Structure 1
């Protein structure tokens, strides 16, 4: 008797999807340009064809889960023109902000971000299930929704299952970066990431997790936290 086919991963997106109403200019840009930046996911156990996604085989691939308004992702793409980026964000106003930045850069003669960034407006966990083994050089989960109520903690994107998927997808020596301004989530991140097989915490002194490294670019959410007087924690883990 053949084994039953594995059920596909279940989509789990919580919270708002749209936010404030988009201006007509942003609506037009989203309709015109978002389709060429987005990609479809194959059903597991198939793996995604990254060459088909980008139009070329990426030698270096970075992933940002929950890119917010896209300022960190866009800045990283500008600073690292030899890297290809996958960005995941279901909040459509944030996606429109990144689309705006990419189109403006293209109009100014910088086609790099448009060529090297691809977006998914869906659940990041679905992407992790179909990425090829050892395909990611770096991954970011920066200031994710903390789901502070205890009964909602299980919704947090940093968990054992997500870290296991990231470990499979990341290259040996690759780097996972996590950040939060919520003390309870900082403890949560450390608890799960330090116990996850395949990752080693890179901190050697307190400044390594209290201060943002020079190549760790600031984002809107970090600046908002700092302006409110909140501390931020920056965790780096190496894929073994």
Structure 2
């Protein structure tokens, strides 16, 4: 264990993700990782007082686990300028997708960046372990990797072993939003939430609720005939 990798619950693997990239990075992508990412990175040492890590005073703290292409995170950060938004993603191509939306080519080291946005380019589960109790007001898990094989179920973020960590980091009354189009993950999420007493978990909505920005994964699922479900879970 290191300072930025607190121990996880028994039975939960230390690494959630698979690949860190899908193909070799292009020169522009490498510059984004080298020059822009450090300007937004949340350092492990800042997790003990996460609100102080932002360039402005913030009224609440939100965390997105696995932001994919970044469109959901950027929409929320832009629409809620007084919210401190931490977006977590280990996949380098996803990080580059978000960063490329923020700065023009040639301005990677100097272009202005959102004061209320910070990035955690590591496994979000370790960040949960570093955050103070009750520090999160909202948590997003939007269309996660379903890990569909039964032997990989322990790698799913929605997991009985992870619920206490999520509950510890969320304040009472804090909201956990979950969306997935995968039937296996939908059934798994319903089963896990039904067997716990840390959260109030009403049945999921079958249409994206108001105030939930769209994502490319949702659009792809709908084009291909899959129907997402949307949970709004509240910390007791």
1:233 positional shift: 0.7
Corresponding residue of 2:11: none
Match in the other structure for 2:7: 9
Alignment of 1:1-240 (within 5 A): 8-9=6-7, 11-42=14-45, 48-104=48-104, 114-203=114-203, 209-240=205-236
Cα offsets for 1:93-132 (capped at 9, x unmatched): 000111111225xx8xx95x62111111111111011111
Q: Which runs of 4+ in 1 moved over 2 A?
A: 20-23, 55-59, 193-198
Preserved CA contact (<8 Å) 1:87 1:120: yes
SS in 1 for 2:67: coil
- Structure 2 unaligned residues grouped into runs of 5+: 9-13
Deviation at 1:47, TM superposition (A): 5.8
Normalising to structure 2: TM-score of the pair?
Answer: 0.86
The structure whose residues are more often helix, as a share, is 1
The structure-2 alpha-carbon separation of the partners of 1:194 and 1:182, relative to structure 1 and needing over 3 Å to count, comes to same
Q: State the Cα distance separating 1:160 from its structure 2 match.
A: 1.7
For the residue of structure 2 that corresponds to 1:209, the secondary structure is coil
> How far, CA to CA, are the matches of 1:102 and 1:161 in structure 2?
36
For 2:125 and 2:215, the matched residues in 1 are separated by 23
Q: Residues 198, 128 of structure 1: CA spacing in aligned structure 2 closer, same or farther, 3 A cutoff?
A: same
Looking at both structures, which has the greater relative contact order when contacts are Cα pairs under 8 Å and sequence separation is at least 6?
2
CA contact (8 A) 1:139 1:177 kept: yes
Question: What per-residue deviation string (whole Å, max 9, x for no partner) do you get for residues 188-234 of structure 1?
Answer: 1122123333211244xxxx510111101111111111111111111
CA separation of 1:202/1:210 partners in 2, compared to 1, >3 Å: closer, same or farther? Answer: same
**1:144 Cα deviation from its structure 2 partner:** 0.6
Q: Cα RMSD (Å) of the superposition?
A: 2.2
CA–CA distance in structure 1, aligned partners of residues 78 and 24 of structure 2: 28
Unmatched 5+ residue regions in structure 1?
Answer: 1-6
Write the deviation string for residues 148-170 of structure 1: whole angstroms up to 9, x where unpaired.
11111111111122221111111
